[in-house]
Amino acid sequence: MINALLFILVGFLTMEFSGWFIHKYIMHGPLWNIHKTHHTHTKGYFELNDLFSLLFGGIAILLIFLGMETLDFRFWMGIGISLYGLSYFFLHDILIHRRVKFFKKPKNGYLAGIFKAHQAHHSTRKRDGSVAFGLFIVPFKYFKNNRDE
């Protein structure tokens, strides 16, 4: 059971750190034409950028499928990636971008810092000049003075 929890955590953290790298160097690099749909706020519920979610979800499904028979590390890492995807959807799509309007903008604490970092990331609609490429791990400066706002 400890191994399962460890591999779930590894899968989750791998997504955060590889996601930061992919976001900064690939999405804001050679695949900008896909990712820019997220920065330009096109009309409609879906955007071309959602293809990245399908890619990462596909990787998670493949790992779960390959590790399902023996419940080896691949299965548990796939579960960790899936949990990251679910958390990403909740935090990024529902709470920050309000694709589904369930919650109000966070006013303080950890979620407010994440929100501020994401707003800073979207302060430009261009490929270059963005900051704060992570989702759960962002620079500390975005958590300062949250209670004062």
User: pLDDT tens for residues 25-48?
Assistant: 999 999 999 999 988 876 777 889
Residue 147 has pLDDT above 60, yes or no: no
Residue 75 has pLDDT above 80, yes or no: yes
Look up residue 66 and give its amino acid.
Answer: L
Poorest-pLDDT segment among 12-21, 53-62, 110-119: 110-119
Domain ranges of the chain: 2-148
Q: Please tell me the predicted confidence (pLDDT) of residue 32.
A: 95
Which among 30, 15, 140 has a CA at the least distance from the CA of 77?
Answer: 15
The encoded tokens of residue 28 equal: 């804001």
Report the distance separating Cα 77 and Cα 73, nearest Å. 6
Residue 148 has pLDDT above 70, yes or no: no
Residues 6+ apart with CB under 8 A from 113: 138, 142, 143, 146
What is each CA distance from 124 to 7, 10, 69, 119, 134, in whole angstroms?
36, 32, 47, 9, 16
Q: Please tell me the predicted confidence (pLDDT) of residue 30.
A: 97
What confidence tier does 94 reach under pLDDT thresholds 50, 70, 90? confident
Average pLDDT of the chain to the nearest whole number: 90
Look up residue 25 and give its amino acid.
Answer: Y
Higher-confidence residue of 5 and 98: namely 5
Report the distance separating Cα 16 and Cα 14, nearest Å. 6
Report the distance separating Cα 121 and Cα 13, nearest Å. 21
What confidence tier does 146 reach under pLDDT thresholds 50, 70, 90? low
